[in-house]
A and B are shown apart, each in its own frame.
Chain A
Amino acid sequence: MTPLDRKLLRDLWRIKGQAAAIGAVIAVGVLLLVMMSGLVTSLDETRRAYYERYRLADVFAPVKRAPQHLLAELSALPSVAAVEGRITGHALIDLPGLDIPLRARVVSLPEFHAPRLNGFYLSAGRAPQSDRNDEILLLKGFAEAHSLQPGDTLDITMNGARHKLRIVGLAQAPEFLYTTAPGELMSDDARYGVIWISMQTLAAAYDLEGAFNEALLSIGRGAQSPAVIHAVDRLLEPYGGFGAYALADHGSNRFISEEIASLRATAAAVPPIFLAVAAFLLYIVIFRMVEAERGQIGLLKAFGYSNLETAAHYFKLILAIAAGGATVGCVLGVLAGRALIDLYLLYFKFPFLIFQLDPGSFIAAFSVSIGAASAGGVTVLRRVFRLTPAAAMQPIAPPHYRPLGNVARSLQSVLDQPSRMVVRRLTRQPGRMAGAAGGIAAGMALSVAMIGIMNGFNQAIDLTFNVIDQSDVSITFNEPLSDTTLANLRSIPGVIAVQPARHVSAVLRHGVQRHLGVISGMTTNARLYRAVDSRMAPVPLQAQGIVLAEALADILKVQVGDLLTLEVREGRRPTLRIPVTGIAQNLLGSPAYMELSALNHALGEPNRISGAYLRVDSAHQNSVYRVLKDMPAVASVSLKQDARTALQTQMDRGAGAMRYIMMAVAGIITFGIVYNAARIAYAERARDLASLRVIGFSRSEAAFVLLGELALVTLAALPLGAVLGYYLSFAVAAGFSTDLYQIPATVQPVGYGAAALAVIAAATLSGWLVKRDLDRTDLVLALKARE
């Protein structure tokens, strides 16, 4: 080992505290990057493998009733590789001890072969035998939520008739990666199940002998699904086709695609912000650290070391800190990723999910860290190299302090000498002080933004469940009913208010933009569930017009006044041209609202409702549920409280959980910056402070000069951090938002206060740590030391 390398090791040891603080800042920035891009890679790759292995269809074509022989025609279509016809339907599972029946989807299994498309992964038990009509497979998540096992029997209501069926196995399937009850967004294992059952049983239950009501198609590589969808729609049209759709529009796939897309966007947007702050800090710290070595650099040059050799020496020091931090960050990123990926398994039902590293993130992490650190070092070295060795070795000439300006001069009578030292230093080196304040502000901005996101999550939940939805229960019917049903509902003891609803699926088009969604028909004076604008005031529904959620308006690129094309997929399947009359604030989902009778009129089905919102007296809720459970027309009952809990749970997991990690990271970075600022200030002033002590200043008086500076810089950073944080919160909120839910950037005064307090706490702790060192300083040594 060369003496320079030994110097390097000892220098590192000497500045270990500071090196650790810098390394920690880099590490957390890298941690985020590695963790998030790893999660993206893992989810993406696992999904791809899962879909491929279990042959998930490319096109789904629901139809009212199509004869089996139509399958041959479907498979003869160009580009179609495989076709499977199956029967699916809604069912209710009546579990003992529960007041409301649970919703489920039933899916048929082919009788004499394994499913050609949309296979399943058997996680326990066995597949049902072809000749047994009472055997079922149950979705693993639902079974686990209710402690159901193979061998148990279930009471299942299909098409109004009750069946007693026996669970023989538990299964998972790529089409049910993320299961939600119709009309809901959040997955809840306990409240929605999937049942696989023989084709024969389902055909009998739904009166579909010799027919199917959903065709699955896979298409050849490179084939265009729109062309296939068009052809399929034409074939199924006479049989009541509801409109075929591609895998991209499939509910479960859309959710996970959205999650991956959101995660990818967050991984692309947020870690770079953190890393940029870390890089900025690194630049400043390395700059000042190398500057402190000026004399030694001059000495090395005096001995005949070339610029390159000298630079290489300092580059190694920088590299050791930056690469060390990046390495630790990578390791922590992998560990955090592994821990987080298990959270994803809670609501994305992969049979397996292994955290995979994205090699690109390693490279990016290292190059950014090392690049930023080197930039800081190179800037100083170039400056020092421009000096002659003689000049470099001289202590830096005392800076030119100017007499204070007019305003300051009037302050002079008020300020004592130590205070003047503080003020003069701040005014003498405004660039340096601005750098320190900027660094602290950047740290605070991260905290402000993350607190804003925390608020945003809460606001999304509050808006959804306290402002928009003021009902307690929402129910849907097996099929649209006459609105006289409302009177029946109102007459149930304990029901306080009822609001009718009509949900129809439709394709919304504007120019080339297309969205497969649901139109909710609501009455104009809706109270229990309504559209609200950004001021939380109800958006009026007009007889001729449609109100879109902001997110949907963004997807379709429409504004109020634009004409929209609606292709309704139910009733007489009308195509409507209708103006957008309002934009609704909606942080969850992307609904569209129309006036109920106008919607019914367009459908040619006056006075029909497909569901209702109910407000229920809490004292009677159980009896209300029992009555609803016994109404044959009721397909589903969902409780707002359950939906709210499900949403809260989901937001606390997965991507939502990320905000806690980022909050912690923001805290670490803020502290790292403040601590480094304090350390550097101390290093630069150690001699001055020792001199003060020598001429008779007390420890506290000397410390005042140093800590006063830190305090002023911190104070200057607070408003700057608040402003930066305000803007940063929009960037971070956009990163967290998806098509499915929007997280608003809302920083409340208390958020700024909390972030400011965190900065002040970090500054106090840093000040205390530095003061402790200051108190221990050996005066004689400090005065002798050239640094």
Chain B
Amino acid sequence: MGKRSGNQLQNAFTTRGVWKVYGEGATEVQALRGVDIDIPAGELVVLLGPSGSGKSTLLNILGGLDRASRGDVLFQGRNLAAMTDVQLTRYRRDHVGFVFQFYNLMPGLTAYENIELVTEIAGNPMPADHALALVGLGDRGDSFPSQLSGGEQQRVAIARAVAKQPNVLFCDEPTGALDSITGRTVLRVLKDINEQLGATVLIVTHAAATADMADRVIHFADGRIRDIQRNAHKRDPSDIEW
């Protein structure tokens, strides 16, 4: 499966001088301290770093879940930092999918309904059962989250995220709550999404081994980018050491 050729040279995101500061005075925490980065469209990018290094914060800002304290965040040439609340909502609705560490499924809805929750409001969604089939759960649509294992719940969460056919898929510690076998399955799904749908995939993790499957690995430390590395030879998720 080839990537969408037109996007290859274009950047999905460009950030310049992005700071994120929580609190003030004595309790001030600088989560991001001037981040400049270009993320090419269609790549699978892993953001790596220890807890508190700022990687999740950057993910939230890129995903429109949070706002930078200062600096510019450009998505397809538009500055997220300058968007109104309504525009940010629109952006999340049309362009972005999320996968969280703790799945964040609606406990009151079945797997299928959890996906419908998104397909209902998205502009160009795929059918919910396609999304489920994509993550290998075509037969579990009627199950409630409480009836699914952790790995299954995470796959439903991924299906929910990709069902709207997003330009970008954000994954915050997607395997953090999973065992190694389930974790590999989930990573395999993410890789397939990236390759089959051409979506840019950003994975935040502190598991260094995950980096081996990425096109590009961004190392975080103390709210700054320490290093960006390109993988000449990506490894298959099934070969990843856990």
A residues near B (Cβ < 8 Å) are 2-4, 6-7, 10-11, 14, 295-296, 299-307, 309, 388-391, 393, 781, 785-786
Contacts and interface: CB of A to CB of B under 8 A. Distances in A.
Nearest to A299: B104
Contacts of A299: 104, 106
Given A306-B86, A390-B65, A391-B66, A3 B104 contact: no
B92 interface: yes
Of B92, B100, B108, B114, which is in contact with the most chain A CB atoms at under 10 Å from its CB?
Answer: B108
Of B67, B85, B89, which is in contact with the most chain A CB atoms at under 10 Å from its CB?
Answer: B89
B179 interface: no
A296 B105 CA distance: 9
Nearest to A386: B85
B90 interface: yes
Given A299-B104, A388-B66, A390-B65, A3 B120 contact: yes
A304 B117 contact: no
Contacts of A301: 89, 92
30 contacts: A3-B106, A3-B113, A3-B114, A3-B116, A4-B117, A7-B108, A7-B109, A14-B108, A295-B104, A299-B106, A301-B89, A302-B63, A302-B65, A302-B92, A303-B93, A303-B98, A303-B117, A304-B89, A304-B91, A304-B118, A304-B121, A304-B122, A305-B89, A306-B89, A309-B121, A388-B60, A389-B92, A390-B60, A393-B65, A785-B107
A391 B108 CA distance: 22
Nearest to B112: A3
Contacts of A2: 116, 120
A729 B104 CA distance: 51
Interface residues of B, number: 32
Given A3-B114, A388-B65, A391-B66, A305 B121 contact: yes
Contacts of B102: 786
Nearest to B113: A3
Given A309-B121, A389-B64, 10 more contacts: A6-B109, A7-B117, A10-B109, A299-B106, A304-B89, A304-B90, A304-B92, A307-B89, A388-B66, A390-B63
A455 to B, nearest CB: 49
A128 B64 CA distance: 92
Contacts of B104: 295, 299, 393, 786
A11 B106 CA distance: 10
B106 A7 contact: yes
Nearest to B90: A304
B182 to A, nearest CB: 16
B114 A303 contact: no
B192 interface: no
Contacts of B64: 389
Contacts of B86: 306
B117 A3 contact: yes
A384 to B, nearest CB: 13
B108 A11 contact: yes
Nearest to A310: B89
Contacts of B98: 302-303
A348 to B, nearest CB: 53
Interface in B22-36: none
A388 B66 CA distance: 5
A303 B121 contact: yes
Nearest to B27: A400
A14 B118 CA distance: 23
Interface in B164-223: none
A2 B118 CA distance: 11
B125 to A, nearest CB: 11
Contacts of A14: 108
A10 B146 CA distance: 14
For the residues of A in contact with B, the DSSP-based class is helix
Nearest to B65: A390
B66 A3 contact: no
A184 B122 CA distance: 78
A766 to B, nearest CB: 25
A299 B117 CA distance: 11
Nearest to B86: A306
Contact of A3 (B91, B107, B109): B109
Contacts of B106: 3, 7, 296, 299
Nearest to A10: B108
Contacts of B65: 302, 388-390, 393
Nearest to A301: B89
Interface string B31-57: 000000000000000000000000000
A635 B235 CA distance: 116
Interface string B80-100: 000001100111111010101
Nearest to B104: A299
A6 B116 CA distance: 11
A14 B144 CA distance: 14
Contacts of B91: 304
Contacts of B117: 3-4, 7, 300, 303
Nearest to A295: B104
B67 A388 contact: yes
Contacts of B116: 2-3
A664 B98 CA distance: 52
A197 B184 CA distance: 105
Nearest to B100: A393
Nearest to A4: B117
A286 B65 CA distance: 26
Nearest to B98: A302
Nearest to A392: B65
Q: Which 7 A-B pairs have the closest CB atoms?
A: A304-B93, A390-B65, A10-B108, A390-B60, A390-B66, A304-B92, A3-B113
A391 B109 CA distance: 23
Nearest to B177: A784
Contacts of B120: 2-4
A493 to B, nearest CB: 86
A6 B108 CA distance: 8
Nearest to B56: A390
Of A7, A14, A781, which is in contact with the most chain B CB atoms at under 10 Å from its CB?
Answer: A7
Contacts of A389: 64-66, 92
A51 to B, nearest CB: 59
A303 B109 contact: no
A306 B84 CA distance: 12
Contacts of A391: 66
A303 B95 CA distance: 10
A390 B172 CA distance: 11
A299 B161 CA distance: 12
Contacts of A390: 60, 63, 65-66
Contacts of B100: 393
A686 to B, nearest CB: 14
Of B100, B114, B121, which is in contact with the most chain A CB atoms at under 10 Å from its CB?
Answer: B121
Contacts of A295: 104
Contacts of B63: 302, 390
Contacts of A11: 108
Contact of A307 (B66, B85, B96, B146): B85
Contacts of A302: 63, 65, 92, 98
Contacts of A781: 146
Contacts of A305: 89, 93, 121
A100 to B, nearest CB: 74
B31 to A, nearest CB: 11
A303 B92 contact: yes
Interface string B104-143: 1011110001101110111000000000000000000000
A7 B96 CA distance: 23
A112 B118 CA distance: 87
Contacts of A300: 117
A465 B90 CA distance: 77
Contacts of B107: 785
A268 B20 CA distance: 56
B169 to A, nearest CB: 13
Contacts of A309: 121
B113 A6 contact: yes
Of B65, B66, B114, which is in contact with the most chain A CB atoms at under 10 Å from its CB?
Answer: B65
Contacts of A4: 117, 120
